[in-house]
Amino acid sequence: MKIGIMGGTFDPIHKGHLILAKAAYQEFQLNEVWFLPNGNPPHKTSQAPGASAAQRVAMIKQAIAETPYFKLEEYEVLRKEKSYSYKTMEHLKQVYPDHVFYFIIGADSLFSIEEWMRPERLLANCIILAACRGEFDTTAKMEKRITYLKQKYDARIEILPAPLMEISSQEVREALRCGESKLHLYLPEQTLNYIKTNHLYRGG
């Protein structure tokens, strides 16, 4: 099977995540896309209170429930140790040796991937799908970067044309704290209802 991997904190999951996952599914004819919430990511620092791991998982479950090819993978969120992408992908390849994994990242991550822990081990266990939103000179820059990574690591990398939805979870959290009225544009209805019911993202 061809499996897309969408990793992230998903604090909260928003429509941008779902749009990108659907684009990957359609463009590369994937069988499924697995949403992989982080449990204890190495880059996470103390910041304003967000949702708990259990709440983030609950929001993902609700947001993807009506899309049969979207699945939840809880491997990282159930671990107490820090989560590193290369370790996760090695684990998934060991458990599912016949699957081909497509690791979905943004263009910014493509340029910073060498700063990740053991990038050579990550790149050895998956095909990278790097989202490109079609800005004027982004594609040329990405292709140059991809050529470099392929030559250095024998990496398998493809550009993923992605629809424009410039929103981040951090921006969504700030909008929630400010009581912005257009949150339905960014969040699935189930997610917004869950956030309101559980009084999330009201701090600071």
Give the domain ranges of the chain. 2-166
Domain 2-166 = CATH 3.40.50.300: no
pLDDT band at 24 (very low <50, low <70, confident <90, very high): very high
**pLDDT at residue 134 in the model:** 63
The pLDDT of residue 40 is 66
Residues sharing a CB contact under 8 Å with residue 171, sequence separation 6 or more, in sequence order: none
User: What band does 49 get if pLDDT is binned at 50, 70 and 90?
Assistant: low
Contact (CB, 8 A) for 15 and 186: yes
* Nearest-angstrom CA–CA distance, 11 and 7: 12
What mean pLDDT do residues 114-119 have?
96
Query: Which residue, chain included where needed, has tokens 């939103």?
Result: 133
> How many alpha carbons fall within 13 Å on the CB side of residue 56?
25
Span 15-21, mean pLDDT? 94
- Helices 53-64 and 189-197 meet at what angle, rounded to 10? 150
Predicted pLDDT at 154? 98
Q: How is residue 175 written in tokens? A: 């909008």
- Predicted confidence band of residue 131 (pLDDT cuts 50, 70, 90): very high
Confidence (pLDDT) at 85 = 96
86: its two tokens: 């290369």
| Distance set, CA 6 to CA 16, 69, 166 (Å) | 12, 13, 17
